[in-house]
Structure 1
Amino acid sequence: MNRSSPGKSRLPANKGKIVAQGEVIITPVSGKADRKAFIDLAYRLNADDPNWVPPLRMEAEELITPGKNPFFEHADVQLFLARRGGAVVGRISAHIDRLALAMDPQQGMGPGTGNWGLLEAEDEAVARALIGRAEEWLREKGMTRVLAPLSMSIWEEPGQLVKGFDHPPTVMMGHQPERYDAYIKALGYQPAKTLNTYELDITKDFPPLIQRIVQSGHKNAKIRIRNVDKSRFDEEAALILDILNDAWSDNWGFVPFTDTEIKYAGKKFKPIVREDLIMVAEYEGEPVAFMMTLPDLNEVLKPMGGKLFPFNWAKLLLWLRKPRVRTMRVPLMGVRKRLQASRLASQLAFMMIEAIRQNSVREYGASRGEIGWILDDNQGMNAIAEAIDSHVNKAYVIYDKPLR
């Protein structure tokens, strides 16, 4: 097999077969065995990290499989494996989201922007080779810029962890080794945005000012805060995602949900959705805001090692019937765009947070909340998080690099 110096290939780049970089060989994922190796590597490389939460293997496979993950309906994706001496030592995904290409460049994405993610590497040489090959693939596809890491959509696990390595992530958040951050920056990547999560003690009452704002809202006959109705699950899910698409449409990094993704997300969330943990705020009878809260599924998944069989399925089923958790996570919330600059928006947010806080403690035994992610320059959301005495516990960076 031909070998070459780092960053060069003796095979034409557009053949997409094998690229040799020093002692590290990069190959496109092809076939069932490669896909299995791609998935298995994460479990091996992170096995000794006490704060890594092994995803269910069926979920990990679904994420990278066309026909199962609707992301593939509007994205071009190529997975790569790195081998050294015949052993798999790294992996990466390179992808181009066609919906992201259509967005306004001022919002972070836009024409010419590609991504990579799902990075796992034994060492820096492997990471350099993998990122270099992902960049090469993006260039071949006409991309002029990279935003990374995204694994794989902005709605899944965006960013490289840079703060909060000392505790596990909550459901739907990533956890990468600290050394990856140094690898990425050494290749010329610059921070584009920081995504923060906030944690708080939900057993404590909110500050007096916030309590007064909430009480004032309850006295306002125009405001109604209600639980979602799970018997109308599809209708409620469509409503929430409609508000989300409107509320987030001007945010940095925003890519709209497709109809297929709305149905997929609804099906995926349904087992852990609890009516008293997802609130809709109505003003004068119109739904104008929502807040979604999920019991931290990672607490029950962590000891399972990614496997449901032979006995873990029964444990998970029992937990799903009546979750008892330490942590509740608020992954999504939104207020209709036309109200976002108003005092009403903050009041509705505080009212929903307070209702969920009380339900979380009383019904699920929770003591800790996590809100986010929130963009570091989202002044409104950061102000709300700080007003309820929460603090940043984890930070993730999305990096930017021109492709020359």
Structure 2
Amino acid sequence: MGIEIRRVETKRERKQFIKFAWKVYRADPELDRQWVPPVISDYMKTLDTKRYPLYDHADLAMFTAWREGRMVGTIAAIENRRHNEIHQDKVGFWGFFECYDDQDVANALFNAAAAWLKTKGLDTMRGPVSPSMNDQCGMLVRGFDSPPVFLMLYNPEYYNRLVMNYGHHVGQELLAWYIDQDKIDIARLRKIGQHMMKREQLTIRTINMKDFDREVARIRAIYNKAWEKNWGFVPMTDKEFDFMAKSMKSVAKEHFIYFVEDKDGRTIGFSLTLPDMNIPLKHVNGNPFTPWGLLRFWWYGRNIKAFRTITMGVLPEYRNKGVDSMLNAHIADYGGQHGLYSSEMSWVLKSNEAMSKLAKVIGGIPYKEYVIYEKALV
């Protein structure tokens, strides 16, 4: 029973590649209970090298594994030239890994990705990164008892074993922090925020959705500066950032996107928090744009009370002055007034002690853990 590896070439094959995940998760009732199917049309765009802006400076190869005429696994390999230029290394990435609990199939998939990455002159493979660090990344290794929040991943527990048995080691660990609104000391956070604003002569405001394009430009400028020294970070191009912003605009909520400005009106920090759209997406089977899907999406999304803080950014000269605390104070304060019951802060590098300290201050609990693996390409 040999394993055949096929390269994905056509649009039809790309859709087959995406839909394979349904076979893995729907076969196990416990996995199916927690898993949130991805939006098929979104993944089709992400894996379209002619449409997705990442591929202006990256190459992608997708592979499927077959046994006796049946698809049994998927993987994508990515060469991100911009990453290697910035970090001065030769790292290749793998992502979109889905597989039955079969080490031989997993090995064949990783071998295919590794062989393609070697043809690009790369010496290390790193993943899962699907398809960049600005998209979805990390393998879940702790926290399988609850579903993923919006734009975070879920996977079977045995994936970790398949990856490690192939010879990967842990490269970085990522945390997701659970924030219980009932356990936040709102009064204390409000006091911290007010003190910080007065001391530094700062003001805070929500996003102006009527001036969306210029607001996005402000976020982009801070995001790229604030994160430039983080592990694995690659600044987004204007085209990438605008593409991402456009895709999120429909789910953005005015009172959960904040800007901090100095006394001269210059934007020096921001926070981006979005509703947990996985709550309605769980019920549409990857197709929210069909008539039935739209109805179910509306029904389950009528009153979402869980959110995810995706990112915060503060200019370097304002770090360690409490701006992050001020942003969190406003998010928590507004949430407490409007029935928010929980939020997730994710993802955060486990080695980022400053962010972990901030999460603890607002009552956060590290309830999910993800791993990005690495392996030398010999």
Q: Shorter-chain TM-score category?
A: over 0.9
Which of 36, 48, 69 pairs up with 2:15?
36
Which of 63, 83, 97 pairs up with 1:100?
83
Would you say how many aligned residue pairs link Structure 1 and Structure 2? 371
Identify the residue that residue 158 of structure 1 maps to in structure 2: 137
Mapped to 1, the partners of 2:20 and 2:50 lie a distance apart of 23
Which of 248, 256, 278 pairs up with 1:298?
278
Which of 151, 159, 180 pairs up with 2:159?
180
Cα contact 2:190–2:330 (8 A) shared by 1: no
Cα contact 1:328–1:360 (8 A) shared by 2: no
Cα contact 1:81–1:90 (8 A) shared by 2: yes
Pairing 1:60–2:49 present: no
Cα contact 1:117–1:150 (8 A) shared by 2: yes
Which of 207, 212, 221 pairs up with 1:242?
221
Which of 20, 39, 64 pairs up with 1:81?
64
- 3-state secondary structure, aligned to 2:34: coil
Cα contact 2:73–2:109 (8 A) shared by 1: yes
Which of 363, 367, 372 pairs up with 1:393?
367
Cα contact 2:190–2:333 (8 A) shared by 1: no
Alignment TM-score, normalising by the size of structure 2: 0.94
Alignment TM-score, normalising by the size of structure 1: 0.88
Pairing 1:114–2:92 present: yes
Mapped to 2, the partners of 1:319 and 1:207 lie a distance apart of 29
Cα contact 2:196–2:326 (8 A) shared by 1: yes
- 3-state secondary structure, aligned to 2:37: coil
Cα contact 2:66–2:73 (8 A) shared by 1: yes
- 3-state secondary structure, aligned to 1:66: coil
Cα contact 2:171–2:372 (8 A) shared by 1: yes
Letter in 2 for 1:25: E
Mapped to 2, the partners of 1:375 and 1:262 lie a distance apart of 22
Mapped to 2, the partners of 1:40 and 1:64 lie a distance apart of 13
Deviations 1:316-340 (A, max 9, x none): 35777xx522311001101112222
Identify the residue that residue 334 of structure 2 maps to in structure 1: 359
Which of 311, 325, 349 pairs up with 1:350?
325
Unaligned runs of 5+ in 1: 1-21, 105-109
Mapped to 2, the partners of 1:311 and 1:283 lie a distance apart of 48
Mapped to 1, the partners of 2:251 and 2:199 lie a distance apart of 32
- 3-state secondary structure, aligned to 1:352: helix
Mapped to 2, the partners of 1:143 and 1:150 lie a distance apart of 16
Deviation at 1:204, TM superposition (A): 3.6
- Largest Rg, 1 or 2: 1
Cα contact 1:224–1:282 (8 A) shared by 2: yes
Deviation at 1:220, TM superposition (A): 4.1
Identify the residue that residue 133 of structure 1 maps to in structure 2: 112
Mapped to 2, the partners of 1:269 and 1:361 lie a distance apart of 24
Mapped to 1, the partners of 2:11 and 2:64 lie a distance apart of 13
Mapped to 2, the partners of 1:221 and 1:162 lie a distance apart of 41
Unaligned runs of 5+ in 2: none
Identify the residue that residue 3 of structure 1 maps to in structure 2: none
Letter in 1 for 2:270: F
Letter in 2 for 1:26: I
Mapped to 1, the partners of 2:121 and 2:291 lie a distance apart of 47
Identify the residue that residue 178 of structure 2 maps to in structure 1: 199
> Structure 1 residues 35, 250: CA separation in 2 closer, same or farther (over 3 Å shift)?
same
Cα contact 1:164–1:393 (8 A) shared by 2: yes
